[in-house]
Amino acid sequence: MDVMTAVLTRRSTSVLREPAPNDEEFRYLLQGAATAPDHGRLRPWRWILVRGEQQEVLAGCLAADSPDTAPDHIRRSLRRAPLKAVLVFCPHTGHKVPEWEQLAAASAMAQSLILLLHARGYGSKWRTGRLCTSGTLAERLGLNGPERLLGALDVGTADSVQPAERRAPADVRGHLSVLD
């Protein structure tokens, strides 16, 4: 798949099933994604892979911090994909590369990974919300110091056997100018 085709046929997929990449395949794709632009080559991020029964542990953490939401609702929302890849931002504080650039590098890596997954036939969806704000989850995942949760990538295989249609290229008028 050429890169433009990968970009134009990618979709966020809400419900995913097996197969998802195993740990080894995820690592292989991440080795590619980790070459995304990154000022200072700091790699200010890490992924934590959560599958099967461990997803229940995530649900329990989120439920503990969301007393107004039915635990079943949270549990169901975590069963939407066989693999939840939790993304942790690990900023190098006080570094000459400011934190916003490090966050941009983490985002560039994540998008590269999403495209690599897609080109290999896997669907994904980046989810944030409760996953970013749960102190119980952060503690359970062993976040240190300035580390922050950037949500999780749901990963698996889309139900549809039809390949996603190629999207029309976006209208970027108003988002591009040429200085003269």
**Shortest distance, position 166 Cβ to ligand FMN, whole Å:** 13
- In this structure, are residues 110 and 154 in contact, taking their beta carbons and an 8 Å threshold? no
**Shortest distance, position 132 Cβ to ligand FMN, whole Å:** 9
Residue number with CB closer to ligand FMN (11 or 43): 11
Cα distances (angstroms) measured from residue 113 to each of 51, 118, 162: 18, 8, 22
Taking the C-alpha atoms of residue 157 and residue 75, their distance in angstroms, rounded to an integer, is 20
Taking the C-alpha atoms of residue 156 and residue 59, their distance in angstroms, rounded to an integer, is 19
Residue number with CB closer to ligand FMN (151 or 156): 151
**Shortest distance, position 180 Cβ to ligand FMN, whole Å:** 33
Residue number with CB closer to ligand FMN (22 or 76): 76
Residue number with CB closer to ligand FMN (74 or 94): 74
**Shortest distance, position 26 Cβ to ligand FMN, whole Å:** 19
Using Cβ positions, the residue closest to ligand FMN within the complex turns out to be 12
Residue number with CB closer to ligand FMN (96 or 143): 143
* Binding residues vs ligand FMN (CB under 6 A): 11-12, 125-129, 151
**Shortest distance, position 123 Cβ to ligand FMN, whole Å:** 10
